[in-house]
Structure 1
Amino acid sequence: MKNHSLLATLVLAFLSSWSFALPTRVVVRAKAKDAKFIGTGIGGAYVVIRHTLSGEILAKGTTTGASGNTELIMKLPHQRNARLTDDQTARFEVTLELQEPTFVSVEVTAPVSRKSAAITTSTQLWLIPGKDIDGDGLIVEIPGFILDILEPQTHQVIGGNTLINGKLKIRINLVMMCGCVINKGGIWDSTPIQVAALVKKDGKPLPPINLAFTGEDNLFEGFLSTKEKGNYEIQVYAFDTVTKNTGVDKINFVVQ
């Protein structure tokens, strides 16, 4: 009987140990495809951690911090298990109290302050009580570009005095999802990036217009002949022929 009592006590002690939650630190980072981490400078990435089965939100918040070390991330060879980040690199960090292994979904939307360009990416993993996901943490890749049409402006009414030799300038700003600069021959080189405007007049497509890099950081431009009055739509896309990153913006305007 004594042996049975001792065994029962040990079993109860083991089971009771699982009834207490253990603090579990989780670090999530958003990294732009072919670029650096998405942090405070570009508005951050919004992170939601959910219990996969119940849908309960266990944590949510925005990544904060710097975009990271350019030399380390973009130039040096990456060795297995070597850190890509440091204490200043942007992250969302939370400590969860877990009683048992928990299967979670992690959803990341970035850059959160640029709704027209934001991409949502998600992944899943098991969280084990007391086993921290720290260091580089969970890195979620965010593909794409942030593309903004600067000229013409949304719903701008354009008259003859706005035109240059009968043509309307189309000018856009293009940056990486982390806010990194695109220029000629730089780390993020403009050369392999194709930028074009798809134009419609009163709903009917016109020939596409190629936009060339201007020589100023992030800026591309081209010209549209606008002799005819009407309602116009411009959809500009960017496509990197090497990395396959893409970005799009669209506006409408009027020529009278």
Structure 2
Amino acid sequence: MKTYLTILALVFSLYLQAQPTKLVVRAKAKDAKFIGSSIGGAKVIVRDALTSEILSQGVTMGSTGNTSLIMKEPHERYKPIADDQTARFVAEIDIEEPKFITIEVVAPVNQSQARVKAQTQLWLIPGKHIEGEGVVLEIPGFVVNVLSPQTHEFIKSSSIKLKANVVMMCGCTISNGGLWDAEKIEVQAIISKGGKHLKTVSMEVKDKVNTFEADVDLQEPGTYEAIIYAYDDRTGNTGVDKVNFIVGE
């Protein structure tokens, strides 16, 4: 009996031995491509859902993916839209038994004013890898960076040049008539002085892709704030950046 119990205990211990389990995680911009190395990647954190212990973390690396496959071709069941070069983070977690995990993605990690946090949860089974396309989390929005005026810039002229760089969350290009059409995305600057709204100015792409521009005439000297936003009513994507500047005598 003692020998039987010893063998049973040994078999049970072998069964519960930690097994390395792979988990592929990707971040995909809403209405666009995957978030990868070209924009700094997406931060991925895998946690024990019960204790919040971090099991693995890293940044997605790789390309934004195949434009035609992602954006143009019909999507079919079980047909992946990501390939081996498409940005991903691969976690390898040693677990002895099924573990309920939380996957957090913060992206684009290098764009603090545009970062979005997305998360999901699932069971991870020892030795049962989740590879291929893996777990894909969608990241909505636009990355908006105010280029002009610069922060706290002192401007003597009352004619102000407004400029903002606007891209998809994967960094994909926005241009007039392009796949991501600038003429169908609303970009406006909300101008205020002393906390009071003065005017809202529409901006558009002129000479350079991604660069939305407008001129605004501000007669009164003082400190101003410009909130520049992008909005696509077809997808619900939004993005914002702000700048404060000074108009002098």
Q: What TM-score, normalized by structure 2, do the two folds share?
A: 0.95
- Which residue of structure 2 aligns with residue 46 of structure 1? 43
Matched residue SS, 1:85: coil
Equivalence map 1:47-66=2 (5 Å):
47-66=44-63
Question: Are 1:217 and 2:214 an aligned pair?
Answer: no
- Which residue of structure 2 aligns with residue 115 of structure 1? 112
- Which residue of structure 2 aligns with residue 142 of structure 1? 139
- Which residue of structure 2 aligns with residue 227 of structure 1? 219
**One-letter code of the match for 1:90?**
A
Give CA-to-partner distance per residue, 1:63-92, whole Å, 9 cap, x none: 111110001000000100001111111100
Matched residue SS, 1:208: strand
**Does the 8 Å CA contact 2:56/2:91 hold for their aligned counterparts?**
yes
**Does the 8 Å CA contact 1:23/1:95 hold for their aligned counterparts?**
yes
Matched residue SS, 1:207: strand
Question: Are 1:16 and 2:8 an aligned pair?
Answer: no
- Which residue of structure 2 aligns with residue 151 of structure 1? 148
Deviation at 1:223, TM superposition (A): 2.0
What 5-or-longer segments of structure 2 have no aligned partner? none
- Which residue of structure 1 aligns with residue 194 of structure 2? 202
* CA distance in 2 between partners of 1:215 and 1:121 (Å): 35
**Does the 8 Å CA contact 2:182/2:204 hold for their aligned counterparts?**
no
Identity of aligned residues (%): 49
- Which residue of structure 2 aligns with residue 126 of structure 1? 123
**Does the 8 Å CA contact 1:37/1:90 hold for their aligned counterparts?**
yes
RMSD: 1.6
What 5-or-longer segments of structure 1 have no aligned partner? 161-165
Give CA-to-partner distance per residue, 1:27-86, whole Å, 9 cap, x none: 100111111111111101010000011111000101111110001000000100001111
Give CA-to-partner distance per residue, 1:111-144, whole Å, 9 cap, x none: 1111111111111111000100100001011110
Matched residue SS, 2:199: coil
**One-letter code of the match for 1:154?**
T
* CA distance in 1 between partners of 2:64 and 2:187 (Å): 26
Question: Are 1:73 and 2:98 an aligned pair?
Answer: no
**One-letter code of the match for 2:222?**
G
- Which residue of structure 2 aligns with residue 241 of structure 1? 233
**Does the 8 Å CA contact 1:184/1:215 hold for their aligned counterparts?**
no
**One-letter code of the match for 1:69?**
N
Matched residue SS, 1:74: helix
- Which residue of structure 2 aligns with residue 26 of structure 1? 23
**Does the 8 Å CA contact 2:175/2:209 hold for their aligned counterparts?**
yes
- Which residue of structure 2 aligns with residue 174 of structure 1? 166
Matched residue SS, 2:31: coil
**Does the 8 Å CA contact 2:161/2:216 hold for their aligned counterparts?**
yes
**Does the 8 Å CA contact 2:185/2:231 hold for their aligned counterparts?**
yes
Question: Are 1:250 and 2:242 an aligned pair?
Answer: yes
How many residues align structurally?
A: 248
Give CA-to-partner distance per residue, 1:198-230, whole Å, 9 cap, x none: 111122111211112225211111122211001
**One-letter code of the match for 1:106?**
I
Q: Indicate which of 178, 184, 189 corresponds to 2:181.
A: 189
* CA distance in 2 between partners of 1:228 and 1:191 (Å): 32
Q: Runs of 4 or more off by more than 6 Å in structure 1?
A: none
Deviation at 1:11, TM superposition (A): 4.6
* CA distance in 1 between partners of 2:209 and 2:177 (Å): 11
Q: What TM-score, normalized by structure 1, do the two folds share?
A: 0.92
**Does the 8 Å CA contact 2:25/2:89 hold for their aligned counterparts?**
yes
* CA distance in 2 between partners of 1:207 and 1:251 (Å): 15
* CA distance in 2 between partners of 1:122 and 1:239 (Å): 23
